[in-house]
Structure 1
Amino acid sequence: MSAFLEPQNLILIGIVLMLLVFSSFFSSSETALTAASRVRMHAAEKAGDKRATVVSRLMNIRERLLGGILLGNNLVNILASVLTTKLFTNVFGGGGIALVAATAVMTALILIFAEVLPKTYAISQPDKLALIVARPISLIIKVLSPIVLLVQWIVNIVLRIFGIDTNASAWTAADEIKGAVDLHLQEGGVAKRARDQIYGVLEIGELTVEDVMIHRSNLSMVDLAMPTDELIKSVLSSGHSRLPVYSNNSDNVVGIIHVKDLLAALVKSGDAAAVDVKKLLRESWFVPETTSVVKQLRAFQSKREHFALVVDEYGALMGVITLEDILEEIVGDIQDEYDEELAGVTRYKDGSAVVRGDIAIRDLNRAMDWKLPDDEAVTIAGLVIHESQTIPTMGQAFAYHGYRFEILTRERNQIQSLKVRKTFEPDQRKDG
């Protein structure tokens, strides 16, 4: 034991301990600077914190950052190991005992005090520590820059040989936000409704009018040829403020009747039969089904309108798009006293649901917190038909995308209702 207290050995011990401190600094810095929140750093930078500017700059050169930290960490660890071996050689002589002892001691010291302890501390408060270590790490990277660039060049060449592109990233900014929101939802930090609203904002740019419109099969319309009193009753009992009015056939929409205009005319005339419905009709506004939702929202704002008819490329009526439909994509269902909560969806305690065939996949996903794909179909019935490549019959069941679809009712070629639940059954898609 007295051999450790000799002056040259005490110097070696002091240097090794100092190197372990440096190693701990590099390890904690690596964890802090890679785990720090870009969002919070950006906010701190906007608030005038110059340290946050340095952190953001380091995050933007992540390869050089990691290269510099790992280079510095390896240098001090290797040097500490060499000096420890020298120390134990001085104490125990040049045999194998010195090498085994040095290896065991340095493994324990580096693992505990230079890796686990500093990284555990850093991961508990990465933002705070990142601000502290940013400037010294930035200086170290500048000093080691020539070596780091050489190492980075060699690494990129090796990765390129194996066909790996270090610049490619499958994640977009929207994906990162969605991932963060989903994580906070699981941890209880974000409510499901708030998650759905954030998703709505992020995804609205991907939608077209066709994705959110009310399909013509669910559309309330009135025939101009109806007796005036019947037409008025039909409009007032519909529960809608605006209805398309057609003549001869439902594709020939001649205008839009607004309940407010109709009531004003009734009050003025005092007699339903005396109301001239043709004079009350407002001009129809037709929009293509391929119009983006964002573009249509801006059009609603500029024209100060809330209602438009959707047509396909041949001019055939496909449905109706309203300002409310678009807003619901962001804020969720906007219900009034005439709306039914989750109309067309009946939930069961086992997690399944009986769903009307024309229910939009996006609405069902929101209501049930499911992840059914809506790339190839708008409605749940359309999804089943697309995947099965047939018009299913009553009683048929399919398993797609981790869900089981059982056809309950069908009228002619339309799926009226089906039961949907999550399943572990094998996917029946050919490419599934």
Structure 2
Amino acid sequence: MLTEILIVVALIVLNGVLAMSELAIVSARPARLKSLEARSRGAAAALQLSEDPGRFLSTVQIGITAVGVLSGAFSGATLGARLAGWLAGQGVDADLASTLGVGGVVVMLTYLSLIIGELVPKQLALRNPEAIAIRVAPAMNLLSRVAAPIVWLLDRSGKLLLRLLGASGEGGGKVTEEEVHTLLTEAHAEGLIEPEEREMMAGVMRLADRTARALMTPRHEVQMLDITASPGETVAAIRRIGRPRMPVRNPETDEVVGIITLTDAFDALSRRQSLDPARLLREVPVVSDKADALDVMDILRGSAHHLALVYDEYGHFEGIITSGDILEAITGTVAVQSEDEPALLEREDGSLLVSGWMPADEFCDRLAIPRELAGGYETVAGLVLNLFGRLPGLGESTAAEGYRFEIIDLDDRRIDKVLVSRIA
């Protein structure tokens, strides 16, 4: 009887190992396994199994089914009969002893199967799926080779049934942007990354979705020199602007023809030369306002002055982009906001005072609202225009996604400040 008990316990433990193996390999992250592939044969085997889930699941199911059949045979035919005989020997009615014997063994083995054969192994697999997958993968590979004909039959049958049901055999294992944000949130909650690191990682993800128009300093904020200005006027303008790189405009055509660097201007003055804007002019690349942010980064990287002029499809100058604008997009406008005009200010009542120039995608991420709310616009001012469908007046408000948007400051026809409050 002791031998039979040990066999049943061994079968339950084997069932637990198979269940743990199944969940560990399914839950293991391919990125972590790939990083260990060069150092561990188990990691390579786990990757191979995860890439062919039909074959792996068929292998595991064969093992679990065989264990279940053997456990049932031993529990009912041997242990149950032995317990019934022992109860009958103690004076229990034969029919009652048979019922109690078989039923007691079934209940006890079911309990042990749930605890030892399912729950505990699966919890272990979820706590450290990669480490367990690396350990069990070689054995699972060997089992799949031993049972290759049955595995092939089950795998093909499963794929055929999936096709009949209108589903392909391929799983949707692609990582989405939302899942990456969730992982960043979890890593931040567990203290693995700092809040600033999380914001920068989110900023890098936002950067790839932006265009040159979303990154640029718009034309009305760009201070420029005139190419026809006199040396004295040029010196006064350089002192007023005080930037290391200053765009130069042709007032006759209203076209930006290049830039003057503060270094070149200082060098000319140190040599007692007159400041002639046309002589000091340097060319910089021109990009479309619809160009992707990553393409703009490549252009800026190849530019000696790390600055580009932004033009629209009609040939109109729209603004400038510098490497500082790229950095600001990554770190977030809230993180680099100025004290004079913050991008977003939270008030005591929980409402938000938002500048119209704040990037719409950053604002939507902060409020956890769909980015589609901004339509084709790049700023909060554009988002509000999209909600109203027109230029709103001072004090007008509208509601969307559980928030109320109220216009509290207009600069001519530009939305300067928006008060955003949650609707009770």
Q: TM-score range by the shorter chain?
A: 0.7 to 0.9
Offset at 1:294? 2.3
SS in 2 for 1:134: helix
Aligned counterparts, 1:199-218, within 5 A: 199-218=202-221
Aligned counterparts, 1:263-278, within 5 A: 263-269=266-272, 274-278=274-278
Q: Tell me the residue number matched to 1:14.
A: 6
**CA 208–115 in structure 1, closer or farther in 2 if over 3 Å, else same:** same
Contact 1:81–1:106 at 8 Å: present in 2 too? no
My pick for the range that moved more, 404-413 or 89-98, is 89-98
Contact 1:81–1:102 at 8 Å: present in 2 too? no
- TM-score, with length taken from structure 2: 0.84
Q: Tell me the residue number matched to 1:261.
A: 264
Matched, 1:198 2:198: no
Contact 1:309–1:321 at 8 Å: present in 2 too? yes
Q: Tell me the residue number matched to 1:122.
A: 125
Q: Tell me the residue number matched to 1:360.
A: 359
Choose from 229, 234, 237 the match for 1:234. 237
Offset at 1:23? 0.9
Contact 2:334–2:344 at 8 Å: present in 1 too? no
Offset at 1:203? 4.7
Contact 1:236–1:259 at 8 Å: present in 2 too? no
SS in 2 for 1:210: helix
Q: Tell me the residue number matched to 1:64.
A: 55
Structure-2 separation of matches of 1:378 and 1:170: 31
Matched, 1:77 2:68: yes
Q: Tell me the residue number matched to 1:32.
A: 24
Offset at 1:309? 0.9
* Root mean square deviation, CA, Å: 3.2
**CA 334–88 in structure 1, closer or farther in 2 if over 3 Å, else same:** closer
Q: Tell me the residue number matched to 1:131.
A: 134
Q: Give the aligned residue type for 1:379.
A: T
Contact 2:59–2:144 at 8 Å: present in 1 too? yes
- TM-score, with length taken from structure 1: 0.83
Q: Tell me the residue number matched to 1:155.
A: 158
Structure-1 separation of matches of 2:283 and 2:175: 42
Structure-1 separation of matches of 2:22 and 2:126: 10
SS in 1 for 2:264: helix
Structure-2 separation of matches of 1:172 and 1:126: 18
Contact 2:333–2:343 at 8 Å: present in 1 too? no
Q: Deviations over 1:194-243 (max 9, x none)?
A: 12333344454443322211122322223445565454333333342222
Contact 2:45–2:137 at 8 Å: present in 1 too? yes
Structure-2 separation of matches of 1:122 and 1:375: 44
Contact 2:83–2:102 at 8 Å: present in 1 too? no
My pick for the range that moved more, 258-267 or 173-182, is 173-182
Q: Give the aligned residue type for 1:418.
A: V
Contact 1:405–1:420 at 8 Å: present in 2 too? yes
Offset at 1:312? 0.8
Offset at 1:339? 5.9
Offset at 1:184? 0.7
Matched, 1:279 2:282: no
Contact 1:58–1:65 at 8 Å: present in 2 too? yes
My pick for the range that moved more, 108-117 or 150-159, is 150-159
Contact 1:269–1:275 at 8 Å: present in 2 too? no
Offset at 1:365? 5.7
Contact 1:335–1:341 at 8 Å: present in 2 too? no
Which structure 1 residue ranges, 5 or more long, are not aligned?
A: 1-8, 426-432
Offset at 1:248? 2.6
Contact 2:33–2:47 at 8 Å: present in 1 too? yes
Q: Give the aligned residue type for 1:23.
A: N
Q: Deviations over 1:246-299 (max 9, x none)?
A: 2336832233222222222333338xxx53233222235322122222222222
Offset at 1:185? 1.8
Choose from 48, 53, 58 the match for 2:44. 53
Offset at 1:74? 2.9
SS in 1 for 2:259: strand
**CA 142–112 in structure 1, closer or farther in 2 if over 3 Å, else same:** same
Q: Tell me the residue number matched to 1:382.
A: 382
Q: Give the aligned residue type for 1:233.
A: A
My pick for the range that moved more, 20-29 or 323-332, is 323-332
**CA 124–287 in structure 1, closer or farther in 2 if over 3 Å, else same:** closer
Aligned length: 410
Structure-2 separation of matches of 1:230 and 1:305: 24
Contact 2:212–2:289 at 8 Å: present in 1 too? yes
SS in 2 for 1:129: helix
Q: Tell me the residue number matched to 1:429.
A: none
Q: Give the aligned residue type for 1:79.
A: L
**CA 341–415 in structure 1, closer or farther in 2 if over 3 Å, else same:** closer
**CA 224–122 in structure 1, closer or farther in 2 if over 3 Å, else same:** same
Which structure 2 residue ranges, 5 or more long, are not aligned?
A: 85-93
Q: Deviations over 1:76-114 (max 9, x none)?
A: 123212321222134326754444323311221111111
